[in-house]
């Protein structure tokens, strides 16, 4: 664990303001790394922004214990305990900002606000590293990898998926490549349906990362339900254009049923029943609005090409790729990347990745996610009084 003194001297530190002198992240989605602010206190610590360094936390806990014992306080309220804790934190330089973040994250977990973070991107852009680091910083236990879901569906089900990645295949046009990419993403999305549904119902946060994520297809459970209903109605009135399309649709529907049956167990059903309290009108109360945050990672073309070539050469089958095939692979990945980045205009945050400024970027992403969580909590708090007024009316 890197302590505070080590990280405070690291390069690239500027200011402790969430956005510094820059514009809010909601307004600037594509952000160059040279302008990404960094935390001076602990640029590389996974406990930055929300938690304090582990060795300092232990000291504060011991001081709190000593304070309670010395004053013979064996039965105290939660409010008194937190007040004493905040006082000790402030003495060690962790004041208002850390207290506010603590209160915000406490509300977030108590209100059980569903949180879905999507980390999208092509191969070799740092998706797994970013997702894992963010999960540690935000204390989120669940990280799903679409590569594992893809392989599971391909080997254990009848899903129409191949062992060859889509970006290594040859297509007649870019449109054909994107069509096939989206088709595979939809199949993987069905494999994620159970985990997403449980996260929405139980109010559990989840991070999903991988190369098979299409921001257009990952929606909330309510939107997915209405979308599926509409698709079923359309499917009932329209005939498939070809026998192959009909077969693919049939397999996808069968796969969706299998996934749903496997993921919805008795525990989930009981939790669902507990989470549906009714008001005086007998109508079920809807839970907090889910927070869905989509992030697309991209990299400078030169750096990305170098990493891809290293990745290809490290694979056991790397010697089978000819120069022409390598160029096709890189071109296909660039086409998919351009498609993912096109969602920038729809509110998806696009972040440039660079090895030289990775810690600063991670800090910026962490701060951005905390801002989005805080916005979601405020929105939920504002909706609750309005719903109560409507119910009384």
Q: Note the pLDDT of residue 211.
A: 94
Q: Note the pLDDT of residue 200.
A: 86
Q: Note the pLDDT of residue 130.
A: 95
Name the stretches of the chain with pLDDT < 50.
1-49, 219-252, 255-256, 258-284, 318, 389-390, 393
pTM for this structure?
A: 0.68
- Dump pLDDT digits (tens) for 55-72: 888 899 899 999 999 989
Q: Note the pLDDT of residue 1.
A: 42
Tokens of 120: 């999208």
Q: Determine the longest span between alpha carbons in the chain, in angstroms.
A: 79
Q: Note the pLDDT of residue 218.
A: 62
């Amino acid at each position: 664990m890197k302590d505070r003194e080590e990280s405070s001297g690291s390069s690239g530190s500027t200011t402790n303001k969430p956005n510094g002198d820059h514009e809010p992240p909601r307004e600037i989605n594509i952000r160059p790394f040279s302008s990404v602010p960094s935390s001076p206190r602990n640029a590389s610590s996974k406990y930055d922004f929300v938690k304090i360094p582990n060795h300092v936390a232990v000291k504060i806990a011991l001081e709190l214990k000593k304070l309670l014992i010395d004053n013979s306080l064996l039965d105290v309220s939660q409010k008194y305990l937190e007040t004493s804790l905040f006082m000790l934190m402030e003495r060690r330089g962790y004041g208002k900002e850390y207290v506010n973040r603590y209160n915000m994250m406490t509300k977030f977990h108590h209100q059980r606000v569903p949180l879905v973070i999507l980390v999208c991107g092509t191969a070799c852009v740092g998706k797994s590293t970013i997702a894992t680091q963010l999960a540690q910083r935000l204390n989120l236990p669940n990280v799903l990898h679409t590569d594992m879901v893809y392989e599971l569906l391909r080997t254990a089900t009848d899903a129409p998926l191949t062992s060859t990645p889509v970006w290594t295949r040859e297509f007649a046009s870019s449109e054909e490549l994107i069509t096939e990419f989206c088709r595979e993403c939809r199949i993987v999305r069905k494999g994620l349906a159970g985990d997403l549904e449980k996260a929405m119902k139980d109010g559990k946060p989840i991070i999903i990362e991988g190369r098979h994520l299409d921001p257009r297809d990952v929606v909330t459970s309510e939107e997915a339900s209405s979308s599926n209903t509409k698709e079923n109605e359309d499917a009932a009135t329209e005939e498939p254009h070809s026998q192959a399309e009909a077969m693919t649709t049939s397999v996808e529907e069968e796969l969706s049923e299998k996934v749903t049956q496997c993921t919805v167990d008795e525990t989930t059903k009981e939790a669902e029943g507990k989470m549906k309290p009714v008001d005086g009108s007998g109508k079920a109360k809807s839970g907090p609005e889910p927070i869905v945050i989509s992030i697309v990672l991209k990299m400078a073309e030169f750096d990305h090409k170098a990493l891809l070539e290293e990745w290809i050469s490290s694979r056991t089958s790397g010697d089978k790729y000819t120069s022409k095939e390598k160029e096709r692979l890189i071109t296909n990945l660039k086409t998919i990347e351009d498609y993912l980045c096109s969602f920038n205009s729809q509110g998806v945050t696009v972040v440039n990745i660079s090895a030289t400024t990775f810690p600063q970027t991670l800090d910026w992403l962490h701060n951005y996610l905390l801002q989005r969580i805080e916005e979601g909590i405020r929105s939920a708090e504002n909706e609750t009084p309005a719903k109560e007024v409507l119910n009384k009316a």
